[in-house]
Amino acid sequence: MKPQTPFEQIQYHMDKALTAQNVTGAERERFLTPDAIIERTLKVHTSKGEQEFPAFRVQFNNARGPYKGGIRFHQDADENEVAALAAAMSIKCAVVDIPLGGAKGGVAFNPKEYSPLDVTIVARAYARAFAEHLGVDKDIPAPDVYTTPELMSVMLDEYEKTVGRSEPGMITGKPIVVGGSRGRGEATARGGVFVLDEYVKEIGRNASDMRVAIQGFGNAGATAAYLLHAMGYKIVALSDSKGTIAKEEGLDPHVTDEAKRNGDSVLDAATVDQSIRTFGPADILSIDCDIFIPAALDNQIRIDTVSAVTADIILELANNPTTPEADEILFAKGVTVIPDVLANAGGVTVSYFEWVQNRMQFYWSEEEVNTKLKEKIVSAYRDVLRVATIEKISQRQAAYRLAVARIHEAMKLRHRY
């Protein structure tokens, strides 16, 4: 039976890697089980009156270092989704070989329906409710869906009030003025672009010959578009939740961004440039391109949509955008999928850098951060490619095998079994 829920999908990939390394029985079950699932009900007074919101923190594995993972505010956040993301974080940190484990947090709350003050109230309530489980050497949160650097500074403030001490390294993704790291905002996309460009060079292609379609024009998708456009890649299609725009001669993402800011969608770029064609949101999958970058929601490439994909290369900036069944089909067709646990690990890598800087109280320039990021993530790519080539498996399977081996070794050394 194929995995259905997000957590089952991540476990499926982990389970395959464990099987390949002959990890069985109780050790397998221990590896696949979160260390802790912490649930709280946030009781807050908002502009809509007294309200309660379910909140979660899943700490998956800390054998390699303190738990690490973002906090998302989303109406559909639940234990299963948060557990899946926590498991993926443990894999991601091991793939890029940083000394951190995996965790994730969430609040079943739609910030779009509330005032900025209400959102701040919820953020403070989360920091108070989970304070005993967080800390610079314990569990280090960060921004995620609908949470921001500014909310991280709010959570830091509330946490420090609760525990009664200064501890800036207990949370990352903060604004620069309260201990954030330069380069953090672009890190997720930049890391993915570093890996993609390395792969393109590896196969002997030129950036100017590569046509790129990007699903999602939020922070990661838009930043990737800017970076790739500047490097000479041709952006032939962009999409958001309202629709898709395409232009065979290439789109200027800066023009698209300005049009969207003046309107409410990438579709508004078509009013500026009449040669731009418009389609529905899902049509981005079938746009003729060489590189497809899912940078929006999970489970976008599924058994019922995979046949629409025309790209030879997929760079997963979104978390879990491809289901296991679709992944197997793509590999059989010879499509290279650079998996999310490698492709979007730039964010957690620079979060690690921020944590290090906070602990040293010594801060790096953006150029230094970007240089260190490139070194770290390209090294991880080389490790993944080596395993994929030797074992004749997909890059996703290679990434999971590499990560599982590193975590498994740490768990044995720490006598966690």
Rounded to the nearest 10 degrees, the angle between the axes of helix 395-413 and helix 6-20 is 80
Q: At what angle do helices 6-20 and 324-332 cross, to 10 degrees?
A: 50
DSSP 54: E
Look up 104 and say whether it is catalytic.
yes
* Cβ(276)–Cβ(245) below 8 Å: yes
Pairing of strands 71-74, 102-108: parallel
- Three-state DSSP class for residue 415: coil
Burial class of residue 78 in the structure, from the number of CB atoms within 10 Å of its CB (0-12 exposed, 13-18 middle, 19+ buried): middle
The Cα angle at residue 283 between residues 244 and 260, in degrees rounded to 5: 10
Interatomic CA distance for residues 377 and 374, integer angstroms: 5
Backbone angles phi, psi at 226, to 5 degrees: -60, -50
DSSP 243: -
- What residues have CB less than 8 Å from 387, skipping those under 6 apart? 393, 398, 401, 402
Residues β-bridged to residue 213: 237, 292
Q: Please tell me the distance from the alpha carbon of residue 276 to that of residue 251, in angstroms, as a whole number.
A: 8
Q: Which amino acid is at 305?
A: T
Residues sharing a CB contact under 8 Å with residue 233, sequence separation 6 or more, in sequence order = 207, 208, 210, 211, 212, 291
- Tell me how far apart the 2 most distant CA atoms of the chain are, in Å: 64
Q: Are 338 and 199 in contact (CB under 8 A)?
A: yes
Helix-, strand-, coil-residue percentages of the chain, each rounded to 5: 50, 15, 30
Given the residues 68, 92, 104, 260, select the one marked as catalytic: 104
CB-based contact 156:166 (threshold 8 Å): no
Residues with catalytic function = 104
